[in-house]
Amino acid sequence: MAEYNQLTEELISKLKEAAPGHILTGDDINEDYCHDEMPIYGKSVPQVVFMAHSTEEVAAVVKICNENKIPVTPRGAGTGLTGGAVPILGGVVIDITKMNKILSYDLENFVVNVQAGVLLNDLADDCTKQGLLYAPDPGEKFACLGGNVSTNAGGMRAVKYGATRDYVRAMTVVLPTGEITHFGATVSKTSSGYSLLNLMIGSEGTLGIITELTLKVMPAPKVVASLIIPFENLDDCISTVPKFKMNHMNPQALEFMEREIVLSSERYIGKSVFPQVINGVTANAYLLVTIDANDEDELNNTIEQASEIVLEAGAIDVLVADTPAQIKDAWAARSSFLEAIMAETKLLDECDVVVPVNKIPAYLEFVNKTGEDCGLTIKSFGHAGDGNLHIYQCSNDLEESEFKSRVDKFFNIIYEEATKCGGLVSGEHGIGRGKVKYLAASVGETNMSLMQGIKKVFDPNSIMNPGKVCSSLDNDK
């Protein structure tokens, strides 16, 4: 493990000179800076929180930290789920949420320039007002765009439009040495050397701090509708998914969910949206599908075609939500899944493993059986169209140490099975602190060594988000 230094009063004074009025210490540091949205990955108090207001300030602070081997933890809105924003070694947390300006649109090239602290929700709303769509749609709408890019967040619309990576044209980055650089350009293609832009995307703050972004936008679709499609069993539900593309339909979103998570969500939001029993048949799984089109005729034809296909494939019914209120209700239930689980659960962990779409039913059956064998309650939902599964481990009666032990056993088994299926450890939440050893087991020694080598080139003193993604600290092993 690299050797780090503690912040002295002299160094704190230097930081205050570099960023006057933007340095927090002691009791001024809010407890929220000690953890992210998944508290099972622990809490740690930073010595300093730096509220960044400009790229130049970030560079000045990072340069001081690098010269003095002070660990740095970049942080956006703190909505991560793998411990990626936990300042394990204390040091300095760099909070970019004050860098929250939408700088400019270039409508000839269909890009928007933003600071990295802009919230996904704010950009989405601003685009809508201008008849545009920023396609990436992760479940947490109040995450920062810099955080989305740092984990390559996918979200509900990835099945049609792709993940966040596909919308990043360029970025401004402060390297761990304090240098400011720019990756990418306002162009749609490149064959110009190694893609440093794509190395940064998904690097989770281990290679540098993203401060500005140039993102692709597009004209918004004219009309949208959602379909709630109940099934008697999960096998029929998931087996229907490939039929959408096989029949030349291209849904904007294609989500699956099991009965128990739907019931939890409806209890949480206080509203029943998904039908439970239809013509005497109990629904045990659902697809939630969003279709967009250029006009009402095209939309209605697609809905009719989709309905015929899913009913023939075993769906119990098809419910069409085609007003803003109906669509909002359907997706409010889907968007509340995590909060609903948290509200009913004392101890919680999660994974967002990704497997080939045709392997989802068998893999989930394996997961549920493994959870039962490990003495854990399992709740699952996810992106049926791209095989990204959100699997939550829950307990209300275990002690935390016993819960963690059982979850570790569970993860070792299900990640190994995912690898055998041709899958990967994470589809969009990232590796952070919590999944480092499972990533190593999945990708192997050679690939981990390559990642560690890249980390060393970018960050020779290993100050940037230590103990995350491809490096472990001694107390994390």
Separation CA 115–CA 146 (nearest Å)? 8
C-alpha pair distances (Å), 242 with each of 71, 178, 250, 259, 367? 46, 48, 11, 21, 22
Largest CA distance in the chain: 73
Q: Which residues contact 89 (CB under 8 A, 6 or more apart)?
A: 4, 44, 71, 466, 467, 473
* C-alpha–C-alpha distance, residues 64 and 15, integer Å: 7
Hey, which residues does 290 pair with through a beta bridge? 226, 253
What is the distance between the alpha carbons of residues 442 and 430, in angstroms, rounded to a whole number?
Answer: 14
Residue 239's SS3 state is helix
| Contact between 60 and 18 (Cβ < 8 Å) | yes
Residues of the chain with pLDDT under 50: 477
pLDDT value for 477: 45
In whole angstroms, give the CA distance from residue 35 to residue 176.
Answer: 22
Distance separating alpha carbons of residues 143 and 273, to the nearest angstrom: 26
Q: Number of helices (H) and strands (E) in the chain: give both, helices first.
A: 16, 20
pLDDT of residue 31: 96
Dump pLDDT digits (tens) for 314-344: 999 999 988 888 888 888 888 899 999 999 9
Cβ neighbours of residue 350 under 8 Å, at least 6 residues apart?
38, 81, 390, 391, 392, 393, 429
